[in-house]
Amino acid sequence: MTAILFYDVVTAVHVLGVVVAFGITFAYPLLLRWVKGRHPHAMPALHGAQDMLGKRIITPGMVVVLVAGIYLASDRDLWDRVWVSVPMVILIVLFGLGGAFFAPQERKLAELSQRDLASGSEPGTVRFSAEYEALYQRVYTVGLVAAGLVAVAVFFMVAKPGGYA
Protein backbone atom coordinates (compact mmCIF):
# COMPACT_ATOMS: atom_id res chain seq x y z
CA MET A 1 0.00 0.00 0.00
CA THR A 2 1.34 3.43 -0.95
CA ALA A 3 1.11 6.22 1.59
CA ILE A 4 -0.14 9.62 0.57
CA LEU A 5 2.17 12.29 1.86
CA PHE A 6 0.99 15.69 3.08
CA TYR A 7 3.34 17.17 0.47
CA ASP A 8 1.36 15.35 -2.25
CA VAL A 9 -1.91 16.72 -0.90
CA VAL A 10 -0.49 20.26 -0.95
CA THR A 11 0.76 19.67 -4.51
CA ALA A 12 -2.78 18.70 -5.54
CA VAL A 13 -4.17 21.81 -3.80
CA HIS A 14 -1.53 23.93 -5.58
CA VAL A 15 -2.49 22.53 -9.00
CA LEU A 16 -6.20 22.90 -8.24
CA GLY A 17 -5.55 26.52 -7.23
CA VAL A 18 -3.97 27.15 -10.64
CA VAL A 19 -6.92 25.57 -12.44
CA VAL A 20 -9.47 27.53 -10.42
CA ALA A 21 -7.61 30.85 -10.55
CA PHE A 22 -6.62 30.87 -14.18
CA GLY A 23 -8.90 28.45 -16.01
CA ILE A 24 -11.57 31.03 -16.79
CA THR A 25 -9.00 33.56 -17.96
CA PHE A 26 -8.17 31.35 -20.94
CA ALA A 27 -11.83 31.47 -22.00
CA TYR A 28 -12.12 35.27 -21.70
CA PRO A 29 -10.75 36.15 -25.17
CA LEU A 30 -13.25 33.89 -26.95
CA LEU A 31 -16.11 34.75 -24.58
CA LEU A 32 -15.57 38.51 -24.85
CA ARG A 33 -15.41 38.53 -28.66
CA TRP A 34 -18.42 36.22 -29.00
CA VAL A 35 -20.67 38.12 -26.58
CA LYS A 36 -19.62 41.50 -28.00
CA GLY A 37 -20.41 40.34 -31.53
CA ARG A 38 -23.62 38.42 -30.84
CA HIS A 39 -25.06 39.96 -27.65
CA PRO A 40 -23.54 43.43 -27.21
CA HIS A 41 -26.25 44.44 -24.75
CA ALA A 42 -24.79 41.85 -22.37
CA MET A 43 -21.36 43.50 -22.20
CA PRO A 44 -22.05 45.47 -18.99
CA ALA A 45 -23.03 42.23 -17.24
CA LEU A 46 -20.07 40.36 -18.69
CA HIS A 47 -17.59 43.00 -17.53
CA GLY A 48 -19.28 43.06 -14.13
CA ALA A 49 -18.95 39.27 -13.99
CA GLN A 50 -15.23 39.58 -14.79
CA ASP A 51 -14.82 41.95 -11.85
CA MET A 52 -16.79 39.64 -9.55
CA LEU A 53 -14.85 36.55 -10.67
CA GLY A 54 -11.59 38.40 -10.08
CA LYS A 55 -12.58 39.14 -6.50
CA ARG A 56 -14.24 35.84 -5.61
CA ILE A 57 -12.43 33.22 -7.70
CA ILE A 58 -9.21 34.43 -9.34
CA THR A 59 -7.61 36.32 -6.44
CA PRO A 60 -8.51 33.72 -3.78
CA GLY A 61 -7.25 31.00 -6.13
CA MET A 62 -3.99 32.88 -6.55
CA VAL A 63 -3.65 33.09 -2.77
CA VAL A 64 -4.02 29.30 -2.59
CA VAL A 65 -1.37 28.93 -5.32
CA LEU A 66 0.97 31.26 -3.42
CA VAL A 67 0.53 29.67 0.02
CA ALA A 68 0.76 26.12 -1.29
CA GLY A 69 3.75 27.03 -3.46
CA ILE A 70 5.58 28.59 -0.53
CA TYR A 71 5.01 25.43 1.49
CA LEU A 72 6.15 23.15 -1.35
CA ALA A 73 9.32 25.14 -2.11
CA SER A 74 10.17 25.50 1.58
CA ASP A 75 9.54 21.87 2.50
CA ARG A 76 11.95 20.61 -0.15
CA ASP A 77 14.32 23.62 -0.09
CA LEU A 78 13.68 24.46 -3.75
CA TRP A 79 13.94 28.25 -3.62
CA ASP A 80 17.12 28.29 -5.72
CA ARG A 81 15.46 26.46 -8.65
CA VAL A 82 14.62 28.53 -11.71
CA TRP A 83 11.41 26.52 -12.16
CA VAL A 84 10.30 27.82 -8.75
CA SER A 85 11.55 31.41 -8.97
CA VAL A 86 10.23 32.20 -12.47
CA PRO A 87 6.63 31.11 -11.69
CA MET A 88 6.84 32.95 -8.35
CA VAL A 89 7.80 36.19 -10.12
CA ILE A 90 5.02 35.61 -12.65
CA LEU A 91 2.51 35.08 -9.83
CA ILE A 92 3.57 38.33 -8.18
CA VAL A 93 3.21 40.15 -11.51
CA LEU A 94 -0.27 38.64 -11.95
CA PHE A 95 -1.29 39.74 -8.44
CA GLY A 96 -0.21 43.26 -9.40
CA LEU A 97 -2.04 43.17 -12.71
CA GLY A 98 -5.18 41.88 -11.03
CA GLY A 99 -5.36 44.63 -8.45
CA ALA A 100 -3.82 47.56 -10.27
CA PHE A 101 -5.02 46.91 -13.83
CA PHE A 102 -7.77 44.34 -14.36
CA ALA A 103 -10.06 45.18 -11.43
CA PRO A 104 -10.35 48.92 -12.10
CA GLN A 105 -10.35 48.55 -15.88
CA GLU A 106 -13.08 45.89 -15.88
CA ARG A 107 -15.23 48.08 -13.62
CA LYS A 108 -14.63 50.97 -16.03
CA LEU A 109 -15.57 48.77 -19.00
CA ALA A 110 -18.84 47.85 -17.27
CA GLU A 111 -19.60 51.54 -16.67
CA LEU A 112 -18.66 52.63 -20.19
CA SER A 113 -20.61 49.87 -21.89
CA GLN A 114 -23.67 50.64 -19.74
CA ARG A 115 -23.35 54.34 -20.57
CA ASP A 116 -22.93 53.66 -24.28
CA LEU A 117 -25.95 51.36 -24.38
CA ALA A 118 -28.06 53.88 -22.45
CA SER A 119 -27.11 56.68 -24.86
CA GLY A 120 -29.04 54.84 -27.56
CA SER A 121 -28.04 53.70 -30.99
CA GLU A 122 -30.03 53.24 -34.12
CA PRO A 123 -32.68 50.55 -33.65
CA GLY A 124 -31.13 47.09 -33.95
CA THR A 125 -27.55 48.35 -33.71
CA VAL A 126 -25.10 48.90 -30.90
CA ARG A 127 -22.19 51.27 -31.23
CA PHE A 128 -19.75 51.51 -28.40
CA SER A 129 -17.78 54.72 -27.93
CA ALA A 130 -14.16 55.10 -28.99
CA GLU A 131 -13.30 55.35 -25.28
CA TYR A 132 -14.89 51.96 -24.60
CA GLU A 133 -13.33 50.33 -27.67
CA ALA A 134 -9.83 51.56 -26.77
CA LEU A 135 -10.12 50.33 -23.18
CA TYR A 136 -11.68 47.03 -24.32
CA GLN A 137 -8.76 46.41 -26.67
CA ARG A 138 -6.20 47.30 -23.99
CA VAL A 139 -7.78 44.93 -21.44
CA TYR A 140 -8.14 42.23 -24.09
CA THR A 141 -4.46 42.52 -25.05
CA VAL A 142 -3.18 42.56 -21.47
CA GLY A 143 -5.42 39.56 -20.81
CA LEU A 144 -3.68 37.66 -23.61
CA VAL A 145 -0.30 38.61 -22.15
CA ALA A 146 -1.41 37.45 -18.69
CA ALA A 147 -2.58 34.12 -20.14
CA GLY A 148 0.80 33.78 -21.83
CA LEU A 149 2.52 34.37 -18.50
CA VAL A 150 0.39 31.66 -16.89
CA ALA A 151 1.37 29.29 -19.71
CA VAL A 152 5.06 30.10 -19.15
CA ALA A 153 4.69 29.47 -15.41
CA VAL A 154 2.97 26.13 -16.04
CA PHE A 155 5.73 25.15 -18.47
CA PHE A 156 8.43 25.93 -15.89
CA MET A 157 6.61 24.01 -13.16
CA VAL A 158 6.07 20.94 -15.34
CA ALA A 159 9.29 20.86 -17.40
CA LYS A 160 11.49 21.90 -14.46
CA PRO A 161 14.37 23.36 -16.52
CA GLY A 162 17.58 22.86 -14.58
CA GLY A 163 16.22 19.71 -12.99
CA TYR A 164 14.60 18.80 -9.71
CA ALA A 165 17.73 18.07 -7.75
Residue 32 falls inside a structural domain: yes
* 19-53 pLDDT, tens digit each: 999 999 999 999 999 999 999 999 999 999 999 99
The predicted model scores a pTM of 0.94
Residue 109 has pLDDT above 80, yes or no: yes
Distance CA 113, CA 50 (A): 14
Residues 6+ apart with CB under 8 A from 82: 156, 161, 162
Sequence-distant (6+) residues with CB within 8 A of 106 are 47, 48, 50, 51, 54, 139
Residue 62 contacts residue 98 (beta carbons within 8 Å): yes
Residue 73 maps to a domain: yes
Q: Is the pLDDT of residue 121 over 90?
A: no
Q: Domain range spanning residue 130?
A: 6-159
Higher pLDDT among residues 51 and 119, named by residue:
51
- Counting residues of the chain whose pLDDT is more than 70, the rounded percentage is 97
pLDDT of residue 23: 97
Q: What share of the chain is helix, strand, coil (3-state, %, to 5)?
A: 80, 0, 20
In contact, 17 and 65? CB cutoff 8 Å: yes
Confidence of residue 2 (pLDDT cuts 50, 70, 90): confident
pLDDT above 70: residue 95? yes
Residue 1 lies in a domain: no
Q: Is residue 164 part of a domain?
A: no
153 falls in which pLDDT band (50, 70, 90)?
A: very high
Task: Please give the tally of structural domains in the chain.
Answer: 1
Angle, CA 163 vertex, CA 161 and CA 165 arms, to 5°: 150
